Amino acid sequence: MSIKNSYPEKPIVPYYKTDLGSMLQIENILKLLSAPKEVKAAALVIARNECANGHKVICATNISGVQSDSGRWASIWDKHIIATCITPENGTGKTRGFVVFDSLQSSCDFLLDRVENKGLFIGEHIDSRFYKGDVTTPEQLAVAYWQEWVQGNTTQPPAQAVKDFVSMYNQSILKFS
């Protein structure tokens, strides 16, 4: 079975995971970006979850599991998406296509853009396909992230996933204060 590729003009490169050793590079990039601290903190938690705290970055640049088989992203990202790769998706084991960015910076820019556009940060009201409501607490943000980013449905996250997310958020917000 062939995997849909929304970027057929880009090369398909072999998947490899990169271990950044820590989240420090990602944190430093996010600190320099222009966005409210709540957006940066949410982005950092999402990156921590999606790339296993910097230990499983897709092809050295994809920190948030951005897929290449679910449709094209906004055209502003075309120049930053330089390739795609194929690998089993974390959690499902289902083979999926993922984008390869031109840099870690572009991946951080993309993540921040998606967090802002989806409203996945404290202080926002979300009326999306799955999550509907205000996001005023880290717990609400954990549910919104689970429904909008992780699952793509309205299921509730496990209690431990919420607890872990809240803990990471409380650590992350301090980095941008």
pLDDT digits 0-9 by tens, 106-153? 999 999 999 999 999 999 999 999 999 999 999 999 999 999 999 988
**161 pLDDT higher than 60:** yes
pLDDT digits 0-9 by tens, 69-84? 999 999 999 999 999 9
Average pLDDT over residues 45-54: 96
pTM: 0.93
Task: Report which of residues 152 and 168 the model is more confident about.
Answer: 168
Residue 94 has a pLDDT of 84
| Element at 141 (helix H, strand E) | helix 138-145
Residue 88 has a pLDDT of 81
DSSP-derived secondary structure for 101-112: ES-HHHHHHHHH
Residue pair 104/25 in contact (Cβ under 8 Å)? The answer is yes
Percent of the chain with pLDDT over 90: 90
Percent of the chain with pLDDT over 70: 99
pLDDT digits 0-9 by tens, 8-30? 999 999 999 999 999 999 999 99
**36 pLDDT higher than 60:** yes
Residue 99 CA: distances (Å) to CA of 37, 78, 79: 27, 10, 12
Average pLDDT over residues 32-48: 96
Residue 3 has a pLDDT of 86
Bridge partners (DSSP) listed for residue 127: 132
**1 pLDDT higher than 60:** no
